[in-house]
Amino acid sequence: MKKSFKLYRSSLLLIGAIIIGGIIGICFPAQTHYLKPVGDVFVNFMFMAIVPFVFLSISSAIASMNGTKRLGKIMGSTMLIFVFTAIISAILGYIAIRLFPLVQHANLDSIKALMGNGAATDEMALSDRLVGIFTVNDFSLLLSKEHMLPLIFFSVLIGLATSSLGEKGQPFAAFLKSGSEVLMKLVQFIMYLAPIGLGCYFAAIIGDLGSQIIGSYVRVIVLYVVLAIVYFIAMNTVYALLAGGKDGFRLFWSNITKPAITAIATCSSAASIPVNLKATKDMRVPHDIADTVIPLGANTHKDGSVIGGVFKIAFLYGVFNRDIAGFDNMLIIICCAFLVGAVMGAIPGGGMIAEVLIVTILGFPLEAVPLVLVISTIIDMPATLLNSSGNTVSAMMVTRLVEGKNYFKNKLKTTANR
């Protein structure tokens, strides 16, 4: 019982604080402005740490790479499958939020007042946004949280340059690693304030916007859970059939129960790695493929988080009365969700960075970050289920690409003849 509470403690504290904040906002709306400064302190601490945290964590991770030890065909197939399933997840998430809008008839004037008159910036042309993804016109601009994506690409380049120097780059790599660990500890300290900070901030939100936004959060969790169940059953079935036909279907569904339960119980893809490794090998996936796909997928392959990214973006679009219809909007939402869900998972603590990325990429005020932080908390469990189970079925599909279409059929025949 104590072990289970430890696993859930941070999530339970956040959910409890959000619930208490919501009750205070409903019951005492006129007094909630006294709580907002407390929430602002937490948010500001997070913004203060985010720029050095991103730079040091990414550049350190890249600089510490010692080159690939895995076969190129396995790695290439793995990346192909990861990108394929992430894009499918984003598209399905977009269809869901088009059919069932998360926010309706938002009061933009109240939102502007709550965000300190920091209304969402004007939507940029797609070409201008693409330029802003990769570059800024001055180094000093990289030190601003408004330019997170250029900072990420710059950090990757610094890491690659350090790694390419070999021994000459080791002192700087050690500095980056030490700095990354220090910032990770700092973020851990800041997150101790999260229950109080988010609770107070949420109370202010509810006090100013009323119960309407609570209904929007309820729609988020209900729609996400329904979509997660449908995705878990339907898409994993499709992927297992693609991997090995009826044999792949039977192998997957006869071995997925323990990994699924572990993912739900721990809310952690990393904690699910051991049981996922055993399950994929029981599915007859070759050891070298399983040992590559599962650990790599726990960090970089998060279909549930991609869908969650779509929901967060759609939520902000609804709150700020932006239209999600149209091909350009669809493309931006899907690409942004892919980035924050699939790519940011590779960065330690990337979930927090993802929230900042969403609002900066799409031109929302940074004060809106807590709005989507709440969504991250309430969808954590079903998102982890999709993230974790997606790795096992991806290992099967990688096996199909590497070993051929009849691999699972032949493997089962060989086992049966023994």
What is the length of the chain? 418
| Residue-level pLDDT at 19 | 82
Residue type, 262: T
Token pair in block for residue 279: 């399950």
Angle between helices 303-319 and 380-403 (to 10 degrees): 130
Helices (H), ranges, 28-64: 36-63
Token pair in block for residue 376: 């991250």
| Residue whose structure tokens are 């609804």 | 318
Q: Please count the other Cβ atoms lying within 10 Å of the Cβ belonging to residue 229.
A: 13
Measured CA to CA, the distance from residue 376 to residue 362 in angstroms comes to: 18
| Residue-level pLDDT at 119 | 47
| Residue-level pLDDT at 76 | 78
**283, 251 Cβ separation under 8 angstroms:** yes
- CA–centroid distance for 349 within its chain: 10
Helices (H), ranges, 254-302: 257-266, 273-282, 287-300
The H or E element that residue 190 is part of is helix 170-191
- Residue (of 31, 43, 44) closest to 204 by Cα position: 31
| Residue-level pLDDT at 274 | 78
Indicate the burial class of 5 (C-beta count within 10 angstroms; 0-12, 13-18, 19 or more). exposed
| Residue-level pLDDT at 416 | 57
Q: How would you write the pLDDT of the chain (418 residues) with one tens digit per residue?
A: 455 455 556 667 777 887 888 888 888 888 887 887 888 888 788 778 778 877 887 788 677 755 444 445 677 788 888 889 989 999 999 999 999 988 766 555 555 555 554 444 445 555 565 676 677 888 888 887 667 778 877 887 898 888 888 889 899 989 998 998 888 788 778 878 878 887 887 787 777 666 667 778 888 999 999 999 999 999 999 999 999 899 999 999 989 888 888 788 667 776 678 788 888 988 988 887 888 788 778 767 888 989 999 999 998 888 888 888 888 888 888 888 887 775 555 454 455 667 777 887 787 887 788 788 888 878 888 988 998 889 999 999 999 988 888 888 887 776 655 5
For the CA atoms of 396, 400, 406, 411, the dihedral, rounded to the nearest 10 degrees, stands at: -40
**78, 292 Cβ separation under 8 angstroms:** yes
Token pair in block for residue 117: 């008159």
**389, 263 Cβ separation under 8 angstroms:** yes
**Percent helix, strand and coil across the chain, each rounded to 5?**
80, 0, 20
- Residue (of 86, 67, 61, 74) closest to 294 by Cα position: 74
- Residue (of 295, 292, 309, 331) closest to 375 by Cα position: 309
| Residue-level pLDDT at 117 | 46
| Residue-level pLDDT at 386 | 92
Measured CA to CA, the distance from residue 335 to residue 332 in angstroms comes to: 5
| Residue-level pLDDT at 68 | 45
